Amino acid sequence: MNRVKLYLILASILMLAGVSCVPLQKYRSTESELQQANQQLNRLKGENEQLKVENAEMKMQIQRYEKRIDGMIKDSLQRIGEWQRLSHAYDSLYAEHSSLQDSYELLLKGSQKESTKLMRQLQDAQEELKKKEASLAALEKSLNEKKLNLDRLTAELNKRDARLKELESILFKKDSVVRALRNVVSEALLGFEGEGLSVNIRNGKVYVSLEENLLFPSGSTVVNPRGKEALKKLAQVLERNPDINITIEGHTDNVPYKSKGEIKDNWDLSVMRATAIIRIILENKGIDPKRLTAAGKGEFSPIASNKTAEGRAKNRRTEIILTPKLDELFKILE
């Protein structure tokens, strides 16, 4: 038994001695990629919040337009009523004018005094008729202008309503895609439940979280066979869903890494584990490398306390973040 232990200790020493150093330039490059990944994440969060604010503002604006339209419809109905009243008055005056004109023609043979009186009445009726015609024309013009404004507002309201519905439809579609993707991934990785693998939705994205014991030996960047099996099953799902972007984030606990080769610290370890996973996923030739991003967060994004062994084990994880593309939504916003 002592001889077996001695062999194991010698094998561990040889394994650790085989690790080599990462150049400073590669470290800085990795750190820049991490910053870019963080910026992209913050930008997507900001865009999501902006969409919600714009959605709320558009709903409020639609309500204001609806109130204005209701007021204009009420005003238009009142003006239509006035126009109808003036039209009836015009018809009445026109009939009276015709009657007076007939009377005038009949009385032409009568006295000059009566004829003058009738002529004055006829002129007064004509003047009143002209005033009514002018008032009626002005009312018709105002009514037409109101109708044009109402039509323009209605068209704009319909356009904004259609745009709002399109935005809501795309957001709903995005949420549906995320939920469906989570279900597909969960079904594909069902056999790995209880081995340190979980699938959940956060911030509109699917997170596949794999604990260290499923993927890597302690302090190593070499994925073990069971971990490779899980990653290959996940790659089959990603191949069938080309509109999903993939980010691999490596995480560690806060225990300082003892440098014995190219891995200098927890930053290096987290990044190199992320790139090791990407290489396994890309063994599936149906996945475009442009869809993948490698990131390492070292010990700086813990999900549990590093004060206990259990918490540190949870923090030593790799998260594969699946994000649906939002090209259609960005086109609408433009």
* DSSP secondary structure string for all residues of 285-311: TTS-GGGEEEEE-TTSS-SS-TTSHHH
Strand partners, 210: 197, 318
93 to 87, 106, 208: CA distances (angstroms): 10, 20, 85
Question: Looking at this protein, which amino acid is placed at residue 130?
Answer: K
Stretch 319-334: mean pLDDT = 69
| CB 215, CB 267: distance < 8 Å | no
How large is the average pLDDT for residues 101-117?
72
pLDDT tens digit sequence for 153-194: 888 877 777 776 766 666 667 678 888 888 988 898 888 877
Percent of the chain surpassing pLDDT 90:
31
Task: Tell whether the model's pLDDT for residue 4 goes beyond 60.
Answer: no
Query: Who has greater pLDDT, 287 or 218?
Result: 287
Instruction: Identify the pLDDT of residue 11.
Output: 58
Domain 21-57+180-333 -> CATH class: alpha beta
Q: State the pTM of this model.
A: 0.50
Of 46-50, 123-127, 128-132, 208-212, give the lowest mean pLDDT range: 46-50
User: Distances in Å between the alpha carbon of 175 and those of 179, 271, 328?
Assistant: 6, 30, 14
pLDDT band at 20 (very low <50, low <70, confident <90, very high): very low
Amino acid at 88: H
Say if residue 271's pLDDT is above 50.
yes
- Residue spans of alpha helices (H) in 108-252: 112-188, 212-215, 225-240
Amino acid code (one letter) for 127: E
Mean pLDDT of 67-95: 85
Work out the mean pLDDT of the chain and round it to a whole number. Answer: 83
Q: Work out the pLDDT band at 21, boundaries 50, 70, 90.
A: very low
